[in-house]
């Protein structure tokens, strides 16, 4: 890339010092608690800052990656040679309008958004309360649980592409399907989304959230470091059942293991490395394919270089 000193000078003109990190351990920013250092990380607080840093990276040929809560991300042990743009609490505003309309920025945690929506006695978002990521990740994956999904409540979205262009797309244009969207297909990033909820009874909403969260706690290893469901649901099957039926419950490579509680979750059991986790993913895929002829597809995303791991 061009002169790094000039790049950093311009970066410092966009962000205050506390919003720029150097040699940042990515293990601090993923729910797996795995990952080496990113060269740089910034924490934007506005759409304009996001656009400026994307354009800056483009001008200097600096590789960049935009992330949220890191709840669906495995980062290489060698880290990331580039700049990570983390959309988190600094970019998490929520505005509740009339007629059940809610506008929220991409960095807001789903749990926080659910709490605010419930406080305004709006129903339809209860399913999102226990999803451990941000709204940005949820829209990108069309996240869903217990019969609810983003597709059912989103009206429109504001997005940015890797060239720094900003778009507004309506629900149909987002092409939301099972764990898929136009954001994935065209490498777009959510900036904010407009949701439409229905008026409801606050106590009934809170009771529903409690019920769904209790079901999660009962069935999922929420007390362990994980990236949620590691694999997408294969057509006609359930990934967790296939893995369990393959005799892989508790199967471990290094510090990474298949959860005893829910085989669809691979966990960081004992200070796992990315190498451990990647080896476990590949071994689970191989064994399930050999036994049942079903090739599991990872739902988790990968950042960094894994060839040597």
Residue 175 in contact with residue 154, Cβ under 8 Å?
Answer: no
- Whole-number Cα distances in Å, 33 to 87, 188, 230, 231, 305: 18, 26, 15, 19, 17
Would you tell me how many other CB atoms lie within 10 Å of the CB of residue 155?
14
233 noted as active-site residue: no
Burial 227-238 (b: 16+ CB within 10 A, else e): bbbbbbbeeeee
Exactly one of 179, 181, 192, 226 is catalytic; name it: 179
Burial (CB < 10 A; 0-12, 13-18, 19+), residue 281, is buried
* 305 phi/psi in degrees, rounded to 5: -105, 125
- Whole-number Cα distances in Å, 32 to 70, 141, 187, 285: 8, 18, 23, 19
Residue 127: which residues within 8 A CB-CB, separation 6 or more? Answer: 144, 145, 146, 147, 148, 149, 212
> In the numeric block, which tokens belong to residue 184?
């994935």
229 noted as active-site residue: yes
Exactly one of 71, 92, 226, 229 is catalytic; name it: 229
The tally of CA atoms less than 13 A away on the side-chain side of residue 165 is 8
Per-residue DSSP letter, 254: T
Exactly one of 90, 283, 299, 309 is catalytic; name it: 299
Per-residue DSSP letter, 38: E
Q: What is the edge-to-edge ordering of all strands in the sheet holding 189-196?
A: 94-96, 101-105, 189-196, 154-160, 166-170
Burial (CB < 10 A; 0-12, 13-18, 19+), residue 161, is middle
179 noted as active-site residue: yes
Active centre residues (catalytic): 179, 229, 299
């Amino acid at each position: 890339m061009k002169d790094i000193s000039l790049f950093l000078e311009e970066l410092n003109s966009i962000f205050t010092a506390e919003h720029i990190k150097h040699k940042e351990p990515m293990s601090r920013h993923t729910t797996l608690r795995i990952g080496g250092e990113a060269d740089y990380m910034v924490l934007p607080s506005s759409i304009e800052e996001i656009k400026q840093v994307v354009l800056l990276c483009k001008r200097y040929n600096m590789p960049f990656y935009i992330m949220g809560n890191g709840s669906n991300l495995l980062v290489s042990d060698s880290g990331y040679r580039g700049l990570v743009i983390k959309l988190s609490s600094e970019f998490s505003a929520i505005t509740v309008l009339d007629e059940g309309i809610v506008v929220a920025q991409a960095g807001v945690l789903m749990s926080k958004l659910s709490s605010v929506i419930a406080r305004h006695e709006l129903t339809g978002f209860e399913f999102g309360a226990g999803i451990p990521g941000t709204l940005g990740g949820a829209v990108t994956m069309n996240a869903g649980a217990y019969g609810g999904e983003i597709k059912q409540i989103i009206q429109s979205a504001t997005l940015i592409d890797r060239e720094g262009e900003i778009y507004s797309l309506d629900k149909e244009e987002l092409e939301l399907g099972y764990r898929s969207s136009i954001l994935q297909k065209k490498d777009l990033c959510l900036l904010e989304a407009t949701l439409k909820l229905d008026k409801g009874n606050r106590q009934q909403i809170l009771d529903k959230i409690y019920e769904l969260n209790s079901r999660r706690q009962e069935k999922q290893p929420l007390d362990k470091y994980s990236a949620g469901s590691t694999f997408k649901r294969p057509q006609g099957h359930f990934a967790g059942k296939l893995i369990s039926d393959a005799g892989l419950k508790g199967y471990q490579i290094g510090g990474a293991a298949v959860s005893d509680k829910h085989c669809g979750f691979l966990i960081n059991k004992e200070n796992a490395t990315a190498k451990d986790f990647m080896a476990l993913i590949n071994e689970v895929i191989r064994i399930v394919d050999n036994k049942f002829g079903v090739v599991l597809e990872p739902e988790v995303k990968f950042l960094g270089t894994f060839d040597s791991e």
